[in-house]
Structure 1
Amino acid sequence: MRDTTLPASGTGGVDPGTQAIRVRGIVKEYNLSSGAFTALAGVDLDIEAGEFVAIVGRSGSGKTTLLNLLAGIDRPTSGEISVAGTAVHALREAELAAWRGRTVGLVFQFFQLLPTLTVAENVMIPMDFCRTFPAGERRGRALALLERMGIAEQADKLPSALSGGQQQRAAIARALANDPPILLADEPTGNLDSQTGDAMLQLFTDLTAEGRTIVMVTHERDVSRYISREITLADGRVAGAGASAAGVTA
């Protein structure tokens, strides 16, 4: 029987020190009623396995667009995206959902927990969808994940009974359900008080120490003590990045 306890490492086949994410020449354009809008204008960057990277910038700079492209939620107008060794831009629609379920864990600002399911049932959803664990083992794994998040006692409650910080911990447990090598987080502390937000950032730091790769979009500027590197977007381009970023194409 498969062990349902939380694995010590979440590398998922992406070796530390290797590229977890590679982006080359990404352009994303939207056709609006007012005309064409370019959200990303030729972005190149590399992120290594085990990094905790913050993507920062003003509203409208392209942060969430980039995160959605990395997750395969949206498709680039042009360019190439490799995530955990898979050419995401080349996947067919039918392949994207299964790839995402096994490779990427998503964490949102407003948690996105289903209100009519218990916390444990919410954590089990990715396992039910991808069938990564036998049906009889999924609840045990969900409870192990919730224990790791420090909220095992909330397992059989509805999300509405939990505090904001507890709901975010449940959302992180759900993101880890299929043991993905990469977590993508969109403003995960934006709906939390500063103390709870700091606890979430420390939790992300702990997860990267175990080998997982985390890319976080944030408006928060005081995150330097938690992250490996910061990438700044401005007007759809990389305006500043750490040493391993490839830069920007014109």
Structure 2
Amino acid sequence: MIEVTDVVKTYPLGEGEVVAVDRLSLSVAAGEFVAVVGRSGSGKTTLLNLLAGIDRPTAGTVRVAGAELDGLSESALAGWRGGNVGLVFQFFQLLPTLTVAENVMLPMDFAAKIPAVRRRDRAMELLERVGIGDQAGKLPATLSGGQQQRTAIARALANDPPLLLADEPTGNLDSHTAQAVLDVFADLNAEGRTIVVVSHERDIRTLVNREITLVDGRVVADEGVRA
């Protein structure tokens, strides 16, 4: 599902540059549930952005879901992302003027992968799947943090992508709600979906297949942590 080879990512800083990812290589097979951990500034979010095609490598290759991302144009990249990757962010990124159901339908409207007549029904199915079907007609601001993150997960699943990428999805949640959200990811992985999650949650090790530790943009540990 993922093949990263000798990737470097630098950003300009004053007259020099900062190296966010440093000659990093890794592979993730279809169906794996992988946690990427490390201290702040270790390159976790940069790596996730490279996998999502949000950012491009300075050097090296990023191949995800059958596509070599650095070889795609911006429009081709957007089309690829719409059908292959679901993104979940720490701060939810829900549109405040759309209802919960409309937020979930939005990626379907952009990608046009789901027939228009099926989109609302699919949104409702996904909201039921993550346990908040009764919130479909509400605006995001009226929901709890956990409910907003469940909405974001449903939105990420809108076009049935084979890969989910999540950047600190529990960072704004209390411990009980965080565990419930992580359990949703575990259930999705049990159904065969590939998941890569950046997380500081200590309990993440009980759910994932692998834990990859980054330090200064490099992989310093790559452990299988669950039978």
TM-score range, shorter chain: over 0.9
Q: State the 4+ residue runs in structure 1 displaced beyond 4 angstroms.
A: none
Matching residue within 182, 186, 211 for 1:201: 182
Partner of 1:224, secondary structure, is helix
> Which amino acid in 2 is paired with 1:173?
A
TM-score (norm 1): 0.88
Distance (whole Å) between structure 2 residues aligned to residue 137 and residue 77 of structure 1: 41
* Residues 1:154 and 2:135 are matched in the alignment: yes
1:132-177 CA distance string (max 9 Å, x none): 1121210010000001111011001000111110000000000000
- 1:81 maps to 62
- 1:227 maps to 208
Distance (whole Å) between structure 2 residues aligned to residue 212 and residue 163 of structure 1: 26
- 2:198 maps to 217
- 1:60 maps to 41
The offset of 1:191, in angstroms, is: 0.5
Distance (whole Å) between structure 2 residues aligned to residue 140 and residue 169 of structure 1: 17
Please list every run of 5 or more consecutive structure 2 residues that lacks an aligned counterpart in the other structure: none
Partner of 2:94, secondary structure, is coil
> Which amino acid in 1 is paired with 2:125?
A
1:56-100 CA distance string (max 9 Å, x none): 001110000000000000000010111111111211111111100
The offset of 1:126, in angstroms, is: 0.5
> Which amino acid in 2 is paired with 1:181?
P
TM-score (norm 2): 0.97
Partner of 1:222, secondary structure, is helix
RMSD, aligned CA: 0.9
Partner of 1:231, secondary structure, is strand
Please list every run of 5 or more consecutive structure 1 residues that lacks an aligned counterpart in the other structure: 1-19, 244-250
Once the two structures are superposed, the pairs formed by residues 61-140 of structure 1 within 5 Å of their partners are 61-140=42-121
Distance (whole Å) between structure 2 residues aligned to residue 163 and residue 88 of structure 1: 36
Partner of 2:223, secondary structure, is coil
* Residues 1:192 and 2:147 are matched in the alignment: no
* Residues 1:170 and 2:151 are matched in the alignment: yes
Q: Which has the higher helix share?
A: 2
Distance (whole Å) between structure 2 residues aligned to residue 51 and residue 214 of structure 1: 6
The offset of 1:221, in angstroms, is: 2.7
> Which amino acid in 2 is paired with 1:47?
V
1:101-150 CA distance string (max 9 Å, x none): 10000000110000000000000010000001121210010000001111
Partner of 1:53, secondary structure, is strand
Matching residue within 25, 37, 42 for 2:6: 25
How many residues were matched structurally?
224
- 1:10 maps to none
* Residues 1:46 and 2:27 are matched in the alignment: yes
Report the identity percentage.
66
> Which amino acid in 1 is paired with 2:198?
V
> Which amino acid in 2 is paired with 1:76?
P
